[in-house]
Structure 1
Amino acid sequence: MENVNVLITSAGRRVSLVRSFQKELKRIVPTAKVFAADVKPMMSAACHIADGHFDVPKLDAPDYISVILYLCKKNNIGLIIPTIDTELLALAQNKAMFKAEGIEVVISSIKFVNACRNKRVIHDFFGSHDIKVANEYTKDNYVLPLFIKPIDGSRSVDTYVIKTEDDLTDYHFQNDKLMFLEYIDHDKFEEFTCDLYYSKDHQLRCIVPRKRLSVRDGEVYKALTVSNELVPYLKKHLKFVKGAVGCLTAQFFLHKTDASQIYAIEINPRFGGGYPLSYLSGANYTKWLIDEYLLEKTIEDKFDVWERDLLMIRYDDEILVHGFKG
């Protein structure tokens, strides 16, 4: 293999993701490296943990893709793992160009990425798969309480629970990006994030539901793997998704006492911040990506490989950078 190294883009604080690729990659090729890229790598914990790091332009810079391609070719990188929503479309649009250079970008199709980035479109997607979503109201005909979120948001930014008319402001009505949605009662429903693995042929191979026990800054802080109705339900409704590959993070509400009541929230076609729990439970998406994209192996169904009722409690740690000049 020529291009055996891996690049994690927009690495930020994804230390656990970098370490998982280091562990799995070096079992196969001990000399292989996992690189990380970020706009400010010296301020990125994941970049310091990686075997090497790159300073790259901002995602909206015209040379972002060309710089990534240059770095990959220069450093024998054969696999790119994107991590944040705002880089997905550009990488999907240029996936063929990277592949022509022997570099695989693990990203879903342009059409599917676009659908995931637009909450109204992904609601239509769920509907086409017979999966319920919260009803969307018009801004002159709604029912309280309601939930407001942007059509293109992420990390729970610009979201609101509206319980009374006094909670509504001109901003909510005037911002065309904000959706007025049926409120799903958290006293009756529990929220789960499911890590889904799709093989190259767009077949669902694994599902790990994670119960979100505590969230901080939009990312799960405490979580529990749970084997529940979501596993057979998603096997049935999302067994094949055209254009979907790699790790997808999908969110659902499941009724506490009536497992037949399931509502979909959204899908992010990338690794989520809580993936380390799925990885440590035995759902080794990291290895499967290396197998598929670097070793050209076929991935079969692996629905039963992960540990149930595994609790993850995260904590802060320190990375020291000596001689830092800012």
Structure 2
Amino acid sequence: MNKALNILVTGCGGDIGQSLGKILLKSPYVKNLYGIDISDKNAAQFIYPNFSVGLRVDDAAHLNELKTFIKDHNIDIVIPIAEPELRYFSENNIQEKIGNAKLITASSQVLEIGFDKYKTAEFLRIEGFPFPKTTLAKAIETIEVFPIILKSKTGSGSKDIYKINTMDEFFFYTRTNIEDYVVQEYVTDKHGEFTCGLYRSSKGEIRSQIFKRELHGGYSGYGEVVEHEIITALIEKLAVKLNLVGSVNVQLRLKDNTPKIFEINPRFSSTVLYRHLFGFEDLIWSIEDALGLELSDNRQNVIGKKFYKGYEEYTK
């Protein structure tokens, strides 16, 4: 590579954006690091050397403002993080470039499937992957077995996800917008919950890492790198069937020793920094692949390594 790059991360204010900033600050690929968010009431301003507030994606001037920013700052690569923005780019067929900057996202089919939980379930069903039985909430007349999981088709993270124990609860949570919900079979986490980093390059090279995790307040608060041949084979097959190019996060629970896929997040995930620290450098690989470079490989045997979610305070 002849020069370091000017890289822009949009939607950088959340935990994922802050994690990406911490990784990129230490990367030799980065000359100048820029971050944009719709608010400055977050810690990203302390991480990104060049931080600014931008327009929401639903603002009519958003795309033109972004193009102007890219031109004015000679941005080489744009990495969008916020799901509303990723959805916008996907729906408007903005996939490879914005202005003269390369755009790093997961491939278009993955975005379309992953951003709709019913489409995710239908894809898994058609392709023969194990998954919790999933039904559109509007098609439900009665539920025979509780608990069930009620979740927004288009929600992200742990938002709009409810464990439902009665029909009264079901009617309460769907009373205003039943069209946007799916009902999913409840799979207990007594055998663990797994969150898997899954990366596939444009040349078809697949890499994965599995965390057995515990959620703390909706986030991965603790996790351990584990080896699980069945899960590895399953998600690597998934990468091929999805025609994945880029990085996604796959979430599973075990039922009768079978891993059931209940979520495909078509973006870098909240565990991206932990993975990076353990040598699974999917953000760096994505940049290398976008530049047409051979993928670096700092992976080591990290089975049994653990992560713990911490916090850091900033003042000004």
TM-score scaled by length of structure 2: 0.87
Identity %: 21
Query: How far off is 1:50 after superposition?
Result: 1.0
SS in structure 2 opposite 1:154? coil
Q: For 1:267 and 1:204, how far apart are their aligned partners in 2? A: 19
Q: Does 1:134 align with 2:137?
A: no
2:85 is aligned, of 79, 84, 87, to 87
Unaligned runs of 5+ in 1: 322-326
Q: Does 1:307 align with 2:298?
A: no
2:10–2:37 Cα contact (<8 Å) kept: yes
The amino acid that maps onto 1:312 is F
1:152-191 equivalences under 5 Å are 152-172=154-174, 175-187=178-190, 189-191=191-193
The amino acid that maps onto 1:247 is S
Q: For 2:298 and 2:167, how far apart are their aligned partners in 1? A: 45
SS in structure 2 opposite 1:238? helix
Map of 2:294 onto structure 1 = 298
Q: Does 1:215 align with 2:216?
A: yes
Q: For 2:134 and 2:215, how far apart are their aligned partners in 1? A: 27
2:36–2:51 Cα contact (<8 Å) kept: yes
RMSD value, Cα: 2.4
Map of 1:48 onto structure 2 = 46
Q: Does 1:18 align with 2:13?
A: no
Q: Does 1:241 align with 2:238?
A: no
CA gap 1:233/1:115 in 2 versus in 1, 3 angstroms: closer
CA gap 1:64/1:183 in 2 versus in 1, 3 angstroms: same
Unaligned runs of 5+ in 2: none
Q: Does 1:102 align with 2:100?
A: yes
1:197–1:248 Cα contact (<8 Å) kept: yes
CA deviation profile, 1:138-177 (whole Å, cap 9, x unmatched)? 4114332111111111122222212234533344366221
Q: For 1:313 and 1:284, how far apart are their aligned partners in 2? A: 18
Aligned length: 305
1:3–1:102 Cα contact (<8 Å) kept: no
The amino acid that maps onto 1:219 is Y
2:206–2:239 Cα contact (<8 Å) kept: no
Query: How far off is 1:18 after superposition?
Result: 0.4
Map of 2:152 onto structure 1 = 150
The amino acid that maps onto 1:142 is I
1:11–1:47 Cα contact (<8 Å) kept: no
CA gap 1:286/1:157 in 2 versus in 1, 3 angstroms: closer
Q: For 2:274 and 2:73, how far apart are their aligned partners in 1? A: 30
Q: For 1:234 and 1:211, how far apart are their aligned partners in 2? A: 15
Structure 1 residue ranges (4+ consecutive) displaced by more than 6 angstroms after TM superposition: none
Query: How far off is 1:48 after superposition?
Result: 2.2
CA deviation profile, 1:210-260 (whole Å, cap 9, x unmatched)? 2221332x3222222212131122223433532x322211111124xx53x
2:187–2:254 Cα contact (<8 Å) kept: no
Map of 1:266 onto structure 2 = 263
TM-score scaled by length of structure 1: 0.85
